[in-house]
Amino acid sequence: MTALTYTVLTDPAPLEASAAGRQSKSIGTVHLIVTNTARRTDWSAIEVRVPVGDGAGDLTPNVTEIKGTYTENQWGGQAKNREVNIERQQGSNIFRVTPQAGGTASFRPGDYLVLTLGNFTVASTPGPAVLTVREKTEDDDGAHTRFTSVALVKSAPKEIPAPRDFRPDKSLVDTGENLTLSWEGSADLTYEIVFPGGRNTVSGSTWSPPVPTRATTYILVATDPRTQKQHFLTTTVQVRHPVLETLTATVGIDTPWVQGTADATKGRVTFTGTGVRITDNSGGQGTVQAGKADLNGVNTEWVQGRSADDGKITFPKDGINVRQGSGAWGTVHADKADLNGVNTEWVQGRSADDGWITFPKEGLHVHRKDGSKLTHLVVGYATLDIVKTRIVRGLKDDDGWISFRREGLNVHRERGMDRGTLFAADTDLSG
C-alpha cells in the first residue's frame, strides 16, 4: 500500500476516444490528485507511467504532446504553488515529480498535490487506460518504494454534431451586390452547397456564390466522411430586381408597371386607373407594335403608315385630313364612297391622261389632258333647264350637226357646211 493516496480526474469526463478518419482529434487532460490521509510523509519522487499507443488500454499515441504542470495546497493554510520539478524522462513515457530543492519534502495530513497531464490527443480505441504510479518516501523505518495504479475510461467517439445557423449576410440583394453564406459546423464534415444550376464543394464555414439574378434557395449538404451520414440546411436569398427566364401566373399578376430588361433600356407599360400607358426609355410617349388591333374605339391625334414618308390622317374637329408624308394634301383610294356631300376643286379619272372636271362659280368645265375644254361630254340622257352650246352633233363624226346663229339655227349634214335635212312628224311654225 502506498503512503499517499492517488485519485484521477479527466477533462472531459469521460475522455472521448479520437475517431479514426476525422480531421480533428479528441483532446483531453488528466488530473492526478495526490493526497495524504494519514501521518506526515516525506517524499522524494513520484513517477507516473502513461500507457502510450492507440489501443484500448492506451491513453495517447503521442506522449510528447503531454504538458505536465502541478498545483498544491497545504492543509489548513492558504492555497499556494509549492515549487516542485516535473519532467518527462528522456525517451520514455514516465513523468517524474521531485521537490524543487532536492532531497525530501513533507506531506502533512490533508495536504494535496495536483499533477496535470494536459492537451494530448486521446487514443482512438475506446476502453480503460491505467496509469502506473511509483512513489518514493522516507520514514523512521527508512526509504520505501511503493506502486499503485489509477484507471480512467475512454468512451466511444460521439457522432459529429450537425451544422447549424446556415445564413446569408443579407437576405435581400440588389444588382451587383456581393453575397456571403456562412454556417457553424465541425471541420470533420465535408460541405457542399447546391443551388439552381450548379453545386460547389467548399471548405471552411463561409462561401461567396455568384450574385443571384432571382430569388435563390441554397442547400448546405454536410457529410460525415466516415459514416457518410448527411445533414441538410437551406436558406433563401431574395433579389430586389429579379431577372426571370419565364413567368407563368395561373391567377394573375398585380404590378404598377412592367418594363423591358432590368437595366431600363426598353419601354415601359404602366397600369393606370383607366387602362395602360406606353412610354419609351426616356419617359416620353412610346410605340405599340402589333399585327392586329381589335378595339371598340380609338382616340388619337393622327394615324400614319409605318414609314416616315407614308401618308397620314389627322383628325380636326370638322372631320379628317389626309396628308402625304411631306405634309401636303394626300390621296384617298377607295372602291366606293357613300357620302352626303363632296366639296372639291376638281375631279379626274384614275390616269393622268384622263379628262377632268373643274367647278367654276357658273357651273362646271370639262377638260382634256392639254387643259383645254373638251367638246365631248358623253351622257346617256340629260335633263337640263338651259343648255348653252355653239353646236350639237350626233355621236359619230359623220353625223349631222346643228349650229346656233343669232337669227336661229342651221341644220348641216356630215362634216361640211352643206345644209342638211330636218326630219320631224310635224312642224308648227310662225312663218
Q: What is the pLDDT of residues 341-366, one digit of tens each?
A: 888 888 888 888 888 888 888 888 88
Predicted pLDDT at 23: 79
Q: How far is CA 424 from the centre of its chain?
A: 102
Reported confidence tier of residue 15, pLDDT bands at 50, 70, 90: very high
51-57 mean pLDDT:
95
Least confident span in 79-83, 118-122, 308-312, 327-331:
79-83
Read off the pLDDT of residues 363-405 as tens digits, 9 standing for 90 and up: 888 888 776 766 577 777 888 888 888 888 888 878 898 888 8
What integer is the mean pLDDT of 130-152? Answer: 95
Residue-level pLDDT at 66? 93
Q: What percent of the chain has pLDDT over 70?
A: 95
pLDDT, position 241: 84
Long-range contacts of 7-10 (CB under 8 A, 24+ apart): 7/32, 7/33, 7/35, 7/150, 8/32, 8/33, 8/131, 8/150, 8/151, 8/152, 9/33, 10/152
> How many residues appear in the chain?
431
Instruction: Please give the share of the chain, as a percent, with pLDDT higher than 90.
Output: 41
Q: Which band of pLDDT confidence, cut at 50, 70 and 90, is reported for residue 190?
A: very high
Rounded Cα gap, residues 60 and 62, in angstroms = 5
Residue 126 CB: number of other CB atoms within 10 A?
16
Of the candidates 202, 243, 244, 238, which has an alpha carbon nearest to the alpha carbon of residue 220? 202
Closest to 42 in 3D by CA, of 141, 114, 128, 174: 141
> Are 57 and 50 spatial neighbours (Cβ–Cβ below 8 Å)?
no
Confidence of residue 50 (pLDDT cuts 50, 70, 90): very high
Confidence at residue 81, expressed as pLDDT on a 0 to 100 scale: 58
Average pLDDT over residues 323-339: 88
**Residues near 430 by Cβ (< 8 Å), separated by ≥ 6?**
none
For residue 102, what pLDDT is reported?
A: 77
What's the whole-number average pLDDT of the chain?
88
* Confidence at 135, pLDDT banded by 50, 70, 90: very high
Residue range 256-274, pLDDT digits in tens: 888 876 565 678 889 998 8
Residue 208's pLDDT band, with cuts at 50, 70 and 90, is very high
pLDDT given at position 369 = 76
**pLDDT category of residue 420 using cuts at 50, 70 and 90:** confident
Between residues 262 and 317, which one has the greater pLDDT?
317
Is residue 42 within 8 Å of residue 140, measured between CB atoms?
A: no
Q: How far apart are CA 115 and CA 46, in angstroms?
A: 10
Handedness of CA 202, 205, 211, 214 (dihedral sign): positive
pTM (predicted TM-score)? 0.52
pLDDT at 281 over 70: yes
Cα(first)–Cα(last) distance of the chain, in Å? Answer: 188
Q: Which of 295-299, 345-349, 356-360, 413-417 has the lowest mean pLDDT?
A: 413-417
Residue 279 has pLDDT above 60, yes or no: yes
- Higher-confidence residue of 44 and 74: namely 44
